[in-house]
Amino acid sequence: MIQSANSKSAKQTQSAIALGSNLGDSLAILEAAIETLAQISDITLTAKSSWYKTAPIGPPQPDYLNGCALLEVQLTPQELIETLLGIEKRFGRLRRERWGPRILDIDLLLFDDLILETPNLQIPHPRMRERAFVLVPLAEIAPDWVEPVSGQAIAQLLQGLDCSGVHRM
């Protein structure tokens, strides 16, 4: 079980994550990643979207399976991102090529209404507003969550995007 030190002092916070995979048995990998998250003592899984088959961004590669989840966490943003990166690594994630194929990708999208920029973490996720493969599943489970930089709800952000490459499984 993955646990984080010093997390007991953190308050209960709602966060949103995106998950994706396009290598191996993506559906099994994503379901196992969700199960791994649900077993962490400082994390409560409160909602999970459907899985969506999506066209890749970047170099030629297989289509992705993508989805989102809502978590209640008793972790700081830094502790949460370290936990998510640890899960990626546990599933065999190697970071070789930007936007390249991956066995598991977990991104921290939102952390309550926090706006944060550090050398290794930016909240909200800097590219989430322009990615239908993130906003479609997020709108399924959190349509009214206001993205704090734009001040718009997730459902509103989705209205201006081309969603033709995003298909529910």
Q: Which residues are catalytic?
A: 93, 102, 105, 107
In 91-144, alpha helices (H)? 132-141
Task: Judge contact between 109 and 129, C-beta under 8 A.
Answer: no
Contacts of 12 (CB under 8 A, 6+ apart): 72, 73, 74
- The two structure tokens encoding residue 57: 């961004």
Contact 156, 121 (CB under 8 A): no
The DSSP element (H or E) to which 33 belongs, if any, is helix 26-38
Q: Which residue in 1, 23, 17 sits closest to 101, CA to CA?
A: 23
